[in-house]
Amino acid sequence: MDNTLSFKTIILSLLSLLFIKVCLSFVNKGNKNKLPPGPPALPFIGHLHLLKQPLHRTLECISNQYGPATFLHFGSRQALIISSQTLAEQCLTTHDLAFANRPQLPTVMLPYLIGMTNYGPHWRRCRQIAKEEIFSAPRIEASSDIRSIEVQDMVHRLFKTYKLSEKNLNGSTHYAKLELRNIFFELFLNMTVMVIAGKRLCGDDIKDLEDMKQYREAIDGWFELSGAAKVEDFIPLMTMLDLNGVMKKMRHVTHVNEAMMQKLMEEHLHKGVGTRNTVIGRLLELQRQDPDKYSDLVIRNICMNILLGGVDTPTSTLEWTMANLLNNQDILKKAAAEIDKHVGNQQLVQESDMANLPFLQCIIKESLRIHQIQIRCRATHGTARTCATPFVAQQQIRIRIHPIAPLLSTHESREDVTVEGYNIPKGTMLILNIYQIQRDPVNWEEPTKFKPERFETDNMEGKLMIPFGMGRRSCPGELLAMREMGLVLGTLIQCFDWKTVGDEPVDLAEGPLGLTLPMAVPLRMLYRPRLAMMEVLSKL
């Protein structure tokens, strides 16, 4: 009897242990596959049917329904959408290394783009070279004369254009009409290529415009194709069929970019264009000392990244900034008064003046954070579109704010990682909706208002400002970008009076989203030289 009980006890114990093990395995499996919430997915395409332009606001609507961490399936790829400051900081600091890769998408075929390569030895080598040899404070200071000369040339051309325009019939000082985007594009293109190879592409003294057209095609084409969501990146069959011609366009853009950089290299090497103070010259000198580290591939990679990152982004940023200033004349007047006080009217603003112009820096920071417009929110059939705030929807008015890059460059997980209790698999795309984060009323007072004064105080601690990214994959050119934009904006405010065309505010409707967010209608404005600066402008 005792033996029978003992046998039954052993069997029951073993069965109990087996049951517990099975239960634990299911629990562990459930925990391992605990993904963030998301809307129901369709077979094969996942959530691609939900992605409509503008993408950053589509993702905002999804996040409002499912939470700040949302998991979506884009065809064969999976994506983690983050829309809160806390989770964004967690992904870019605590889990920075885990999310250090970039998704290798079929339509992004430019092999020399450091920003698009995965984290590894090649990326670390290029990053180190860029930080030490190009974007360090001494190197930026060494190229300040180039930026100063190009800004003076821009101002001279604006003043010359103004003088050639007709006067009003009543003899009063008139305003001339101007479209700024082309002015900014040519300015930053000259600045960037001068730093890279000691060559100007735009200006009154440039006779062959073919180079400038080629560079613009390369830059505009790449930004247009690389920023928008494309089905070819997520469904392999669509990549092969290329029904929309996206792959063909990207191959063309790749060819144009490669030919452009090759031409710069050959000119520098064989014709002696530029000096050792150019990026190419400096890197070629280092190549003679260490050929393996400074290979031709690395040099081309770095130069192409500087070119693509140094033209379109500051052009868009300053166009939006000027648009906001035109709609906020009190802020424009305050900035002009600051420049008059600390710089005066006997010389142009210099980069060395930036430390004495804190409000100008606040304007740039606020412009990077947010842009605001109010538009009627009606679809073509006359009904109001769905808006995030019911009261706003009822008023048929929508407040739209748009950072220059509303979706930070996409990261990808290198390994399995846990975020806020969710288990994110390796190979998951990380998309940070900066558009939503930087207008969150929890973190920003009056988030939809263009208010540079918010940066004048010391209460910015804890506020997430990441227009240049964070962590390992942040943009190394932040210091240079801020100096460039400060110099250009400060000079335009110092030298000219600005106002809108007509009595209506500037139309701040958004254009098609690439990697940057352009204005739907290029900014047109009226300007005239400030009387206090006429003497300086006449001597340029």
- Which has the higher per-residue pLDDT, 171 or 531? 531
Q: What is the pLDDT of residue 526?
A: 93
Q: What is the pLDDT of residue 459?
A: 64
Q: Please, which residues have CB within 8 angstroms of residue 266's CB and are 6 or more apart in sequence?
A: none
- Which has the higher per-residue pLDDT, 168 or 315? 315
pLDDT of 100-113, one tens digit each?
998 887 776 665 57
pLDDT of 344-361, one tens digit each?
999 999 999 999 999 999
Instruction: Determine whether the annotation assigns residue 23 to a binding site.
Output: no
Question: CA 101 to CA 397: how far, in whole Å?
Answer: 40
On average, the pLDDT of the chain sits at 79
Closest CA to 193 of 312, 304, 271: 304
Position 488 pLDDT exceeds 80:
yes
Confirm if 200 and 215 have CB atoms less than 8 A apart.
Answer: no
Q: What is the pLDDT of residue 447?
A: 85
Question: What's the pLDDT band for 255 if we cut at 50, 70, 90?
Answer: confident
Which of 65-69, 444-448, 480-484 shows the lowest mean pLDDT across its residues? 444-448
Name residue 529's beta-bridge partners.
496
Question: CA 481 to CA 251: how far, in whole Å?
Answer: 29
Determine whether 189 is exposed, middle or buried from the number of CB atoms within 10 Å of its CB (0-12, 13-18, 19+). buried
Ordered by start, the domain boundaries in the chain are 34-538
Residue where the block lists tokens 């004064």? 453
Question: What's the pLDDT band for 223 if we cut at 50, 70, 90?
Answer: low
Which of left, alpha, beta for 396 (phi over 0: left; psi -120 to 50: alpha)?
Answer: left
Q: What is the pLDDT of residue 421?
A: 93
Confirm if 278 and 198 have CB atoms less than 8 A apart.
Answer: yes
Q: Strand, helix or coil at 411?
A: strand
Rounded to an integer, the average pLDDT of 368-384 is 38
Position 76 pLDDT exceeds 60:
yes
Between the CA of residue 171 and those of 165, 510, 527, what are the distances in Å?
A: 13, 38, 17
- Which has the higher per-residue pLDDT, 28 or 167? 167
Between the CA of residue 425 and those of 33, 67, 77, 88, 174, what are the distances in Å?
A: 8, 19, 11, 17, 63
Position 12 pLDDT exceeds 70:
no
Rounded to an integer, the average pLDDT of 90-102 is 93
Rounded to an integer, the average pLDDT of 45-73 is 88
Question: What's the pLDDT band for 379 if we cut at 50, 70, 90?
Answer: very low
Q: By percentage, how much of the chain surpasses pLDDT 70? A: 78
Which of 44-48, 198-202, 386-390, 463-467 shows the lowest mean pLDDT across its residues? 386-390
Position 20 pLDDT exceeds 70:
no
Q: By percentage, how much of the chain surpasses pLDDT 90? A: 36
Question: CA 391 to CA 398: how far, in whole Å?
Answer: 10
Q: What is the pLDDT of residue 449?
A: 85
Question: CA 224 to CA 220: how far, in whole Å?
Answer: 6
- Which has the higher per-residue pLDDT, 337 or 122? 337
Which of 117-126, 177-186, 506-515 shows the lowest mean pLDDT across its residues? 506-515
**CATH topology classification for 34-538:** Cytochrome p450 (1.10.630)
Determine whether 242 is exposed, middle or buried from the number of CB atoms within 10 Å of its CB (0-12, 13-18, 19+). middle
Question: What's the pLDDT band for 197 if we cut at 50, 70, 90?
Answer: confident
pLDDT of 288-330, one tens digit each?
899 988 888 888 888 888 887 888 889 888 999 999 999 999 9
pLDDT of 399-435, one tens digit each?
233 343 445 578 999 999 999 999 999 999 999 888 8
Position 397 pLDDT exceeds 70:
no
